[in-house]
A and B are shown apart, each in its own frame.
Chain A
C-alpha cells in the first residue's frame, strides 16, 4: 500500500539532546513537508522540500534541521537549540502534477516529549 510512514510514534528526549524524526513516503511525490502541532492549535510549517538536495525554511524553522538525500525520505532533526520541542510532528507529501496535485497527504505523526 502506498503511503507515508513516520517513526517512532512516541519519542522521549532529555533536554540538551538532538533527536531525529523519520518520514518516508512511497507515493512518488516530489514535495515533502514538516509541520508542528501544539495542543488546541493548527499546524505550523517547519521546513519543506520540492526536490532532492533542496529545502526551504517554513514559518518556525529555528532549532530544526532537515535533509533530503532521497526522494522518498525527509528526516527532521530537533536540535537542543529548539527551546520548546514538546509537540506533535506531522510529515506530509504532495505530487506536483496529476489528479491530486497540490493535495498534501499526511503521515500518522510523531509525539515528541522532552523530559
Chain B
C-alpha cells in the first residue's frame, strides 16, 4: 500500500517570504500522480498543483512550485512571496491509476501541514 508522509505538522512564514513544505511517499509503482491540496479555514479543499511522475520537469503554478525527486520519492512544495491568504492546511496526496490505465484511482493523503503566514 502506498503511504504519504508529511513530517512538518506546523510551519510559519512572514508575509512575502518563501517557505517549503516537505512530503515523502512510498510506492513500488512507476506511473502515478502527485498533488498538493490546500484547505483554508473554510475547509474547502482546493487543488494547488499536480505532478505526473513521468514528467521530469517540476510543475509550477504562479507562486507555487514543486521539487519532485522521483528516485528519493520526495515531493516538496515551495511557496514564494507568501500571502496572508496562503494560511491553510496543506495536504500532499498520491494517486495510483487503476490497472486499466485510466485516471480513476484512490487518493492517499498525508497528515497535513498547517501553514501560518504572519503579517
Contact = CB atoms under 8 A, between A and B. Distances in A.
Interface stretch (B57-65, B69-77, B99-107): B99-107
Give the interface residue-count category, chain B: 20 to 34
A88 to B, nearest CB: 7
A104 interface: yes
Contacts, number: 55
Contacts of A41: 111-112
A88 B39 CA distance: 13
Given A108-B44, A109-B43, A96 B103 contact: yes
B103 A102 contact: yes
Contacts of B105: 102
A40 B9 CA distance: 9
Interface residues of A, number: 27
B68 interface: no
B84 to A, nearest CB: 22
B91 interface: yes
B47 interface: yes
B23 to A, nearest CB: 11
A58 interface: yes
B104 A90 contact: no
Contacts of B46: 106
Interface of A: 30-31, 33, 40-45, 48, 50, 58, 88, 90, 92, 94-97, 101-106, 108-109
18 contacts: A40-B9, A40-B112, A43-B45, A43-B107, A44-B109, A45-B106, A48-B106, A58-B106, A95-B103, A96-B103, A97-B103, A101-B103, A102-B33, A102-B103, A103-B35, A103-B47, A105-B47, A108-B42
Lowest 8 A-B CB distances belong to which pairs? Answer: A102-B103, A42-B109, A106-B45, A101-B103, A43-B109, A42-B111, A50-B104, A31-B104
